[in-house]
Structure 1
Amino acid sequence: MLLLKKTSYSSIYLTLSLLLVVAIVLSAGTGAVYLSFREISSLIAHKAFGNGIVNPVHEGLFFQIRLPRTILCLFVGAALSVSGALMQSLFRNPIVEPGLVGTSAGSALGAALFIVLGSNSFFSHLSFMSELLMPVCAFLGGLVATVIVYYFSASLNRVNISVMILAGIAVNAIANGATGFLAYIARDPQARSITFWNLGSFAGANWTAVAFAGASTIVGFFLSLRFAKSLNALQLGDTEAGYLGVNTERLKISIILINTLLVSIATSLVGIIAFVGLIIPHLLRLMKGSDNRYLIIGSALLGAIVLSITDMVCRVVIAPAEMPIGIITAFIGAPVFLWLLNRMKNNGQKGGFYA
């Protein structure tokens, strides 16, 4: 760990970038039908230049199923990890993630409302938005849930972490209960779609989903970098950050909006995937430190790698069937979360998380 602390940021970025390339290649070839690196290269060359003869079934599999799924994994992993880094910095607490403050559950509720009530006359007036309706509903659901939690956790210009966690539990319970009610009254196809959101899966990946996830992730990533220095100042406290010229209230609102954009679009496309936003930023802090400029870039790279590898496990563990990715992340993330809690308890007052 000490060696990692001495490693330069550029070396970490280079290592993560190389691992990301390896993860992309492995992900594109892994599944019920295995595609070798040589065959993938031949398929790309044939598509780009018309060279050689390829298996048309494998060509369709790669370009219409495997490749969009791989790219969607990258964008969603980056989005969830960056959002986790933002929320941990905003609340100045290492155990915060979008799922704990209600963003994911609120987004899923927004998506469920659209699934069940999509044929309602209210939505018919918005038909001009076409495929944007689902992400918009998820965004609004996540935004409302996050704002409610933040409202109850902020008192006397400070964030009360205990109240934040309790408010997050309450909002999650309400959102999950409402989603369950919608699933109960929904018709069978709608109920299956809602179940899909709750378990999380990349099985429905397509190029339209890639476009939505890519746009929201790229915009959210660059906006996050813009506020990285201000978030670093915020770690000193609201008053001290104000002395340094940071408009803390505007910063908090901006971070909440960026977080909601990243999480809600990802959730509307692939469902709830827990713990990714908690684990990735924390691992990066252990590796190098708490500079948000480093955390945001590193979270985007490492989150994409981890979610791609996890999705590969989902494809092969019960092949030819497929396991929902939310199950895998829960089994891995929950023990890590307990380890983080135990680590914080043992550290006590030995210098603080951001020291």
Structure 2
Amino acid sequence: MSVDDIDNAGADLRDDGAAEGQQAGQQVGESRDGGRGGRGRQQRRRPRREINGWLILDKPLGMTSTEAVGAVKRFYQAAKAGHAGTLDPLASGALPIAFGEATKTVPYVVDGRKVYRFTVRWGIETDTDDAEGRPVATSDARPTPAEIEALLPEFVGEIQQVPPQYSAIKIGGERAYDLARDGEVVEIAARTVEIHRLAIVGLPDADHVEIEAECGKGTYVRSLARDFGRRLGCRGHVSALRRLMVGPFDETDLVPFDTVAAAAESEDPAAALAALLRPVEDGLSELLEVAMSSVDASRLRRGQSVLLRGRGAPVKTEAAYATSAGRLVALGSIEAGEFVPRRVFNYSTPEQGLSRR
């Protein structure tokens, strides 16, 4: 496994398929009596709860995103959960996990900006562009701090970036990482990505530099490290990676995995776990909010548009959300001065939906 930074929701770049299959099997198959000579009866499943909200997990090292979601889902006994942007096992940090109705808002979080802090190890380029790969090129040269500083502006803005050989990009219907594992060298076309900011945040020694990057969807931090090394003539790869922000969620929102586990074992686990959740609408905080009356909220929940005359809303907006009495009602667009619902929300009990904090 290796450091990863792809931010497509639900896509795992190089997490071992067998390990993840085993994890999934544990989730759905652990109810069976597997003992030799047992009766083979299905044990009683724990009831699933209708939980709605966001948990902004500080994913620890050594755990895949799928494993993290599976474990947290079991802690909450949640009926439905997903995540907004994969982190590889050797990456830590922000892994937003959506429960229930919050899964409808995942695309808006995934499309938001990301902030990563990563370490580049100079002198070695690997086939995976990170510390888990096989060295494919080396160099005794080392860049000076001034040379690194002068390079970074070349990678800010819209740039063309070639994803790593070990990536989830599909080539002829197959994942690039599967082809790479089979020993095939594939040509992956460059893609346009946007880098908003690059800054040096640490220079521990001549072999390493710590960089913070703010970037858009689809950016590969591993490719940045590789390209930095090639451009500077010294080669390089990512040796550590931490995600600090995903869309509206940042470091201040992170909840350590151990905290979630401890809450699940507390005297009142339901209350302790609920206290760690964020409201569903927090995933939409970067969109326009439109307040609705209870009558208009009922119309939206029936899939009917609502005229916004006199409410100060724009005539046209591609994405917005409607609330009523502080509760999320619908996701949609504003067209010709009307709110047109695309996805509706309908939860009301404290357990099912958290009110705005």
After TM superposition, the score normalised by the length of structure 2 is 0.21
Greater percentage in strand? 2
Greater percentage in helix? 1
Of the two, which has the highest radius of gyration? 2
Which structure is higher in RCO with an 8 Å CA cutoff and minimum separation 6?
A: 1
After TM superposition, the score normalised by the length of structure 1 is 0.21
